[in-house]
Chains A and B, each alone.
Chain A
Amino acid sequence: MLIETRPYKKIHFGISLGLTVFYSSAVVIIPLLGLFIHSLGIGVSGILEVFSDERIRSALFLSFSVGIISAILNLFIGFLFAWVLVRYNFPFKKLLDTLIDLPFTLPTAVAGIALTTIYSQKGIIGSYFETWGIKIAYTPIGIVIALVFIGFPFVVRTVQPVIEELPKELEESARCLGATPFQTFYKVLLPELWPSILAGTGMAFARSIGEYGSVVFISGNIPGKTEILPLLIVTKLEQYEYEKATSIALVMLLTSFAFMFLINLLQDRASKKLS
């Protein structure tokens, strides 16, 4: 029997579209609008005033700098994981593959507590570094570790399928034409992989900007030193200052959106160049 489907790219105001619009408004659009409306109450000058506070500015700086550092680390770690998982066979590979999703499903507070236990001055790894005079927990280094933990699956899961899809012939012909392994990787494989690596890193970055649960445990939350922006939002809420809280959230949202947009643009250009 022949099954007919609707043609793609044709506008149908059917039930499915209706439901999609309904759910996206209920879950995404209306809450985001609420954010705008809430923070508009104090106006642009009010928002600027919120960010004139030294403490908020240093938290903004901290959040974005640890976000960028952890995103870059995730780029390398995530790519390595994806590469190893696709290209090599080893015992318990399936198990490792499953473990990578754990940060997605684990409540981040649990991760935060576990990481703090290990990396604090009395912890297994932390005490080792302590003898070298390096503190990990309750410093920005600790925050970066937590962010790497929650972010690297994004890179792995976006890059992995692309590596899987790479035709083997591509590599083989490059080698046959006399390219060294490094040249093959750099000139043949990497251009194919760039877009997905960028996309994964961008997602990991955006995720880490807003991360709260794991960071509050490992950061120590000292104002001006290890206090992150999401914590300041919670602080403002605790003081019933909804407008200030939402205006911080709004600035974070816009900045993250700008980053994501930029990355999408780069990704688009990279894939256009390929085709």
Chain B
Amino acid sequence: MKKFTRISTIKPTISAILCIFLSLGALFTVAADSTFLHVSFDPTRELYEEINKSFLKQWKEKKGSEFAIQQSHGGSGKQARAVIDGLDADVVSLALSYDIDSISTKSGLIDANWQKKLPNNSVPYYSTIVFLVRKSNPKKIKDWDDIVKPGVSIITPNPKTGGGARWNYLAAYGFAKRKYKSDEKATAFIKALFKNTSVLDTGARGSTTTFVQRGIGDVLITWENEAKLSLDEEKRSGKNTLEVVYPSESIKAETPVAVVTKTATEKGNLEKATTYLEFLYTKEGQSIISKHFFRPTDAATAKASAKEFPNIKLFSLSDLGETWDSAQKKHFADAGVFDAIYKTQ
């Protein structure tokens, strides 16, 4: 009687399975190489869906060839980390230049001088930080000073876990620093702000959900495009419970883009990637951008959409005398200002 299947019959089976696996693997690498991947942060999903459609149409008209663009969205820092760890992105568009810098310094996939490669410091569009309040503004919130008053409940995401949330923080800090002209007073202001914060979600979308859907809090500190999107959504579902409040001044939240040079070159996508990002600066690209509530950098488009974007005083990070590196070290790194706020409470 035969005891077990003889080893000689198993061997060919194993090699057959191995062959299948290997060829599948090869197939996947080929497939991965022919795709074009855009890694972006959370609130740009709808924007890039439309951008991609227009761009691919134009590309086909000009070059006669077709390809598909894959999109990946998530928290800005998370996305940067994924690219560092090997996600095959051809281009990235993130919430802050610090994240693209991190990719560049930690992995070398992006050239160190990436910000010089595209117009306007590689920032095709920007946004700012505004307030979303309940209808008819029951707490009479007009400016940053009003939200740190006792009894106001603030919703804002955690700057340690969300890249976008760092813009919120720096907007408040910048306002106080410019108004009171002292670091200590600005820190005290930030402290009062986070003392009033009742929920610290991990990302901007989470905060919007807490404020809009769950009805928690009096004021949501949020990106202008996110605020406008919420109003837009309410309008579509026939509700009317929210209002946008523009503070006297706020930060210019610059959201940069970059070609992941090394990956794009390896995949043979360098030309596509460069043209793709350049498309963002064209008339067509800019008008799609303004349609999705991001502020266009092109002067003519900005003029045409001026009604959408009230003219408020905007300061940039460099106006505060900071770079992302110094701001990161001072405020958000361990034992920075943000950590100190919660230590003394």
Contact = CB atoms under 8 A, between A and B. Distances in A.
A and B physically associate = yes
A59 to B, nearest CB: 11
A2 B343 CA distance: 73
A264 interface: no
A116 B161 CA distance: 20
Contacts of A217: 201, 206
Contact of A122 (B198, B214, B345): B214
A4 B5 CA distance: 12
B315 interface: no
Contacts of A138: 198-199, 216
Nearest to B339: A55
Given A240-B81, A241-B334, A220 B200 contact: yes
Interface stretch (A35-43, A79-87, A158-166, A230-238): A230-238
Contacts of B162: 238
Interface in A98-138: 113, 116-117, 120-123, 138
Interface in A52-80: 53-55
Interface in B186-222: 197-202, 206, 209, 213-216
A123 B81 contact: no
Interface string B209-244: 100011110000000000000000000000000000
A61 B345 CA distance: 17
Contacts of A116: 214
B161 A55 contact: no
A223 B334 contact: no
A4 B75 CA distance: 57
B216 A122 contact: yes
B200 A224 contact: no
Interface size class on chain B is 20 to 34
A240 B161 CA distance: 11
A197 to B, nearest CB: 35
Nearest to A123: B214
B155 to A, nearest CB: 10
Contacts of B300: none
A117 to B, nearest CB: 7
Centre residue among B78, B160, B206, B332 by max chain A CB count within 10 A = B160
A119 to B, nearest CB: 10
Given A122-B216, A217-B206, A238 B199 contact: no
B202 A221 contact: yes
A63 B75 CA distance: 24
Contacts of A117: 213-214
A130 to B, nearest CB: 11
B27 interface: no
A224 B161 contact: no
A234 B161 contact: yes
A222 interface: yes
Contacts of A220: 198-200
A121 B218 CA distance: 13
B285 interface: no
A254 interface: no
B269 interface: no
Given A123-B214, A234-B161, A221 B200 contact: yes
B160 A238 contact: yes
A117 B214 CA distance: 6
A229 to B, nearest CB: 14
A216 interface: yes
B140 interface: no
B106 interface: yes
A113 B208 CA distance: 13
Contacts of B75: 238
Contacts of A235: 158, 160-161
Nearest to A116: B214
Contacts of A216: 201-202, 206
A221 B199 contact: yes
B77 interface: yes
Contacts of A222: 197-200, 342
Given A55-B343, A223-B342, A240-B81, A231 B202 contact: yes
Contacts of B215: 120-122
B185 to A, nearest CB: 22
Contacts of B78: 238
Interface in B54-110: 75, 77-78, 81, 102, 106
A209 B227 CA distance: 35
A62 B22 CA distance: 48
Contacts of A123: 214
Contacts of B77: 238-239
B135 interface: no
Interface in A164-223: 216-217, 220-223
A34 B283 CA distance: 49
Nearest to B332: A239
Interface of A: 2, 4, 15, 53-55, 113, 116-117, 120-123, 138, 216-217, 220-224, 231, 234-235, 237-241, 244
- Lowest 10 A-B CB distances belong to which pairs? A223-B342, A238-B77, A122-B215, A221-B200, A220-B199, A235-B160, A120-B214, A224-B342, A238-B161, A235-B161
29 contacts: A4-B3, A53-B335, A53-B339, A55-B343, A113-B209, A116-B214, A117-B214, A121-B215, A121-B216, A122-B214, A138-B198, A138-B216, A216-B202, A216-B206, A220-B198, A220-B199, A221-B202, A222-B199, A222-B342, A223-B342, A224-B345, A235-B161, A238-B75, A238-B78, A238-B81, A238-B160, A240-B81, A240-B106, A244-B334
Given A223-B342, A238-B162, 8 more contacts: A121-B216, A138-B198, A220-B198, A222-B342, A224-B345, A237-B81, A238-B160, A239-B77
